[in-house]
Structure 1
Amino acid sequence: MKYNTTDIAIVILNWNGKLLLEKFLPSIINFSEDANIYVADNASTDNSVAFLQTVYPNIQIIQNPINGGYAKGYNEALKDVSEPLLCLLNSDVEVTDNWLEAILFEFNKDKTLAIVQPKLLDFNNRQYFEYAGAAGGFIDKYGYPYCRGRLFKHIEKDIGQYDDNTDIFWASGACFFIKNKIFKSLGGFDEAYFAHMEEIDLCWRAFNLGYTTRFTGNSVVYHVGGATLKNTNPKKTYLNFRNSLFTLAKNTDKNLVGRILTRMLLDGLAGLRFLFILKPLFFLSVLKAHASFYANLSYILKQRQLLKKRSNYFQIKSIVWSYFFLGKKTF
C-alpha cells in the first residue's frame, strides 16, 4: 500500500487549551492539505469546543467524557479513527511546509516501519532542539531516556548534525506518527501512566515485537514544551520518575531486581541533589514516585509476564554515569 496525505489522521489532544489552538491550528491547517484533522477534547472547561465549532467547523471534534490525561485521552479518542496513519500532535506545536511529505516518504520506503518522529525544535529558541524529543530518543540499561540533541538539561544547537533519517529507540509524543493497526494491536498507551513516558513504553513494546521506529530530519516542527505541565511543577518530576520505573520493569529483558536496585540508588542521588539545591518538593516527588511504583508492582509484574522481551535495547549502559561523571554533554 502506498500512503498519501488523505491516509493521515492528525489528532490533537486538548485540555483547556483554547489559546494554544488559536495560536497553532493555523499552521497545521495551512501545511496539512488533504490530511484529516481531529481535536480530541479531554473535558475542557475553557470554551475550547465552542471555539472550534465556531471558527473551525470543518475540524472533527472528539469529546472525551473526562480528562484521562495523555494516555487514556488518546486511547479513547482513537477507537473510532480509521485512517491508516495516525499523527498524535501536541496542541503547542507549529508545523512547517512539507512536514507530512517527509513522513510519508519514510513509511512508503519501508513497509516494516511502525513509528516516525520529525525533528523537534524549540518554538521559543528556534535554533535549538526541543527537550521533549529533539532528534529522536534512546534509553540506557536502567531505563533513563535521552535524545540526540538533548542529554538531561543540556540542549544542543541545531547545526545540521542530525539532518538524517535513522532508526531510533523511541519517538516523542509531542509529534508521534504510528500506523493505526500497530497502535491498536499494541493495545494503545498504558493508561496507568496518565501522562509522560507512555510513548517510550509504547515504542519499547513495539521494539520487543520487532517493529522499527525512525527519525527523519527532513520534517521539522517547533514545540513550545511544558504548555500543559511545566518543568517547574513537582508533579511532572513525580510522573517522569514513576513512569520511567514502570517502563523499565515492564520491558527490560533480564536482571530486573538488579536494575531496580540500581535505579533506587541513582534516583536517591537525584533526590538528594534536589535537597542540596533547595527544592524539597521535588525531593518528595522522587519519594512519591518510588512509593507509587511499589504500590503498583503487582500490576506492573502482571504486565511484564504478558509482554515479549528483547535484548540489546540500549546503546549505553548508564547515561547518568556518562553525563554526570564523565562529563559527556552531547549525543
Structure 2
Amino acid sequence: MNPSVAVVILNWNGQKLLEQFLPSVVQTDYDNLKIIVADNASTDDSVAFIKKQYPQLGIIVNDQNYGFAEGYNKALQQVNADYFVLLNSDVEVPSNWISPVIKLMESDSKVAVAQPKIKLYANKNSFEHAGAAGGFIDSFGYTFCRGRLFDALEEDNGQYDSDIEVFWASGAAFFIKASIWKEVGGLDADLFAHMEEIDLCWRLKNLGYKVLCCTKTEVYHVGGGTLNVGSPFKTYLNFRNNLIIMQKNLPFWEAFYKVLSRLWIDLAAWFQFAFKGQWKFVFAISKAHCHFFKYFFKTAAKRKKPQVKLSQHSGVYNSSIVWSYFIKNKKKFSEINRL
C-alpha cells in the first residue's frame, strides 16, 4: 500500500472557495488518502457546508483564527499520516496530482518537502506567483521562483520540467513528511502568515534535508484568496517576515550584514511608495521594521544550530535578483546567471 497522505485545507470564511474547489480535491486518485478541512473559527457557514455536502471529510475546528502558521500547527497535532499536504482552499487539482510527488519523495530519505508545479488558475498555461516551478532566494534574502521573478510570470512551455532541488516550496501545495514536521515543530506561529513555509524549508535545509519541485504534476492556484496583492497587511507581513527569517537562519555575521543591507533596501522601497503617494504601504513598511526591532531578542532566541552560509545551499542565486531584474532587465528565470 502507498504511504498514507493527509490533505489538510486550512479555511477561514472561505465557503465560496470550498464550494468551487473541493470537488476537484475529493476526486483525487490516491488509495491511502484522507482529506481534512481545518477551520480557523470562521464566521460564515463553512463548517455547516462541509458537514452537509461532504460528510466523508474530516473536520477540525480551531477555537480562534490562528493565522496560517499556528492554524496548521494546531490542526496537524490531531492528524496521523505518513505525509501531510498543506493545500490552499483556492487550488484546483487534477485527479493524479499526489502520486508523482510521493514517489519522488520516497526515493530519498533526505527529501523532507516537495511541491508540484503551481500554475495560474485563470490561465493554466502560465506559472503562478506563489511557487511556480520551485522557490529560490538571492544573496540578500529576496525570494523568487523558477518561472516567476517579482511580478513577471512566464508561460509554461516545459522549459523547467526537471525535478530539481530548490530552496523553498510553496505553501499553496506543500508536501512534507509528517515525521520531519514533528521533528522541527512545524511552522513558526509568530510569522502568522506569509513566508512561514520558506522559514520552515530554510530550517530543514540547515539540518541537511532537501526540498524538491516535482514537475510531473501541477495544480492551479487562484492566489490572494485571503489577502490580495494590494493589501497593506500583506506588504507588512512580507517585509517583516523576510527580516525575521534572515535573522533566524543565517550564521551570525552573515545575518548581521545582510539584515542591515535589507533595511537600507527596504528604505528605498519606502521612499518609492512615498513618492507615489501610496501612504498605506509606507506605513506598512514602517510598521514591519518597528515590529522587527521590538521583537529582535525574541527572534534571536529562536536561532538554532546548525546555521549554514546561504551560498552553500541549493536554490540560491549568489547575486542580487533586484539588480538583475530592475537594472539588467532580466525578466525570466532562464536569463539570470546559472545557479
**What is the distance in 1 between the residues matched to 2:284 and 2:98?**
38
Q: Name which of 315, 318, 326 aligns with 1:316.
A: 318
Q: Tell me what 2:10 maps to.
A: 13
Give distance in 2, aligned partners of 1:162 and 1:90: 23
Unaligned segments of structure 2, at least 5 residues: 334-339
Shift of 1:110: 1.6
Q: State which drifts further: 200-209 or 105-114.
A: 105-114
- State TM-score, norm by structure 2: 0.94
User: In the alignment, is the contact (CA less than 8 A) between 2:163 and 2:215 conserved in 1?
Assistant: yes
Equivalent AA in structure 2 for residue 290 of structure 1: H
TM-score normalized by the length of structure 1: 0.96
Give SS of 1:61's match.
strand
Residue 97 of structure 1 deviates from its aligned partner by: 2.7
The question of whether the paired residues in 1 share the 8 Å contact of 2:135 and 2:145 is answered with yes
Measured on the aligned residues, the alpha-carbon RMSD in Å equals 1.2
Provide the C-alpha distance between the structure 2 equivalents of 1:31 and 1:39, rounded to a whole number of angstroms. 15
Rounded Cα–Cα distance in structure 2 between residues aligned with 1:299 and 1:275:
31
| Structure 1: unaligned runs, 5 residues or longer | none
Of stretches 219-228 and 155-164 in structure 1, the one that deviates more from structure 2 is 155-164
Structure 1 counterpart of 2:317, which letter? Q
Question: Is the contact between residue 95 and residue 221 of structure 1 (CA under 8 Å) also seen in structure 2?
Answer: yes
Q: For 1:201-246, what per-residue CA distance to the aligned partner results, in whole angstroms no more than 9, with x for missing partners?
A: 0000000000000001111100000011101110000000100000
What are the within-5 Å matches in structure 2 for residues 145-164 of structure 1? Answer: 145-164=143-162
Matches within 5 A, 1:128-207: 128-207=126-205
Does the Cα contact within 8 Å between 1:205 and 1:307 map onto a contact in 2?
no
| Paired positions, count | 327
* Residue 119 of structure 2, aligned match among 118, 121, 127: 121
- Rounded to whole Å, the distance in 1 between the matches of 2:86 and 2:75 is 11
Match of 1:218 in 2: 216
Alpha-carbon offset, residue 32 of structure 1: 3.9
1:79 to 77, 80, 86: 77
C-alpha distance in structure 1 between counterparts of 2:19 and 2:150, whole Å? 31
CA distance in 2, matches of 1:134, 1:183: 23
Structure 1 letter corresponding to 2:296: L
Taking the aligned partners of 1:158 and 1:273, their CA distance within structure 2 comes to 32
Residue aligning to 2:276: 277
CA distance in 1, matches of 2:268, 2:158: 35
Match of 1:38 in 2: 36
Q: Which amino acid letter does the alignment assign opposite residue 138 of structure 2?
A: D
* Secondary structure at the counterpart of residue 302 of structure 2: helix
What is aligned with 2:100? Answer: 102
Distance in 2 (alpha carbons) for counterparts of 1:33 and 1:184: 24
Q: Cα distance, 1:319 vs. partner?
A: 1.2
Residue 28 of structure 1, aligned match among 25, 30, 42 = 25
1:295 shift after superposition: 0.6
- Please give the alpha-carbon distance, in whole angstroms, between the structure 2 residues aligned to 1:219 and 1:191: 30
User: For residues 86 and 169 of structure 2, what CA distance do their matches in structure 1 show?
Assistant: 11
Runs ≥4 residues deviating over 3 A: none
Identity of matched residues, %:
48
Aligned partner of 1:290 in structure 2 is 289
- The CA deviation string for residues 257-311 of structure 1, in whole angstroms up to 9 with x for no partner, is 211111011111112122233311111111111111001101111112x342012
Task: Tell whether the 8 Å contact from 2:30 to 2:96 is kept in structure 1 after alignment.
Answer: no
Q: Is the contact between residue 30 and residue 99 of structure 2 (CA under 8 Å) also seen in structure 1?
A: no
